[in-house]
Amino acid sequence: MDFKYLKEYLGWLYYQYLLITGIYALEPWEQSILNSVFFSSMAMVIYTAYVFVPVHITAMVEEIEDRQHVQTKPNR
């Protein structure tokens, strides 16, 4: 892959991001602050999902297995 093409493509993606969010209308220092808040928030969401989702899925699977095990016990 050509690095010039990659640079142009990333520039195009960034331009689309500016247009879709309306950030292009802000001044550069406002853009920097808003981008920092947005990307920090996204990083926190991704980190939280990476840390906590597997724990909750594991707990849910264990609970389901326990309930199935209780249901399959014969009554005396």
- Number of domains forming the structure of the chain: 1
DSSP string computed for 6-73: HHHHHHHHHHHHHHHHTGGGS-HHHHHHHHHHHHHHHHHHHHHHHHHHHHHHHHHHHHHHHHHHHHTS
Is 28 inside a domain boundary? yes
pLDDT tens digit string along 27-75?
999 999 999 999 999 999 999 999 999 999 999 999 998 888 777 666 6
* pLDDT value for 51: 93
Range of the domain at 65: 3-71
What per-residue confidence (pLDDT) applies to 70? 74
Q: Is residue 76 part of a domain?
A: no
Alpha-carbon span 65 to 20, nearest angstrom: 45
Return the structure tokens found at 9. Answer: 């493509």
For residue 74, the model assigns a pLDDT of: 65
Is residue 64 one of the residues assigned to a domain?
yes
Do residues 23 and 31 make contact, with C-beta atoms less than 8 angstroms apart? yes
Residue 49 located in a structural domain: yes
Unique residue bearing structure tokens 């909750």: 56
45: in domain:
yes
pTM (2 d.p.): 0.61
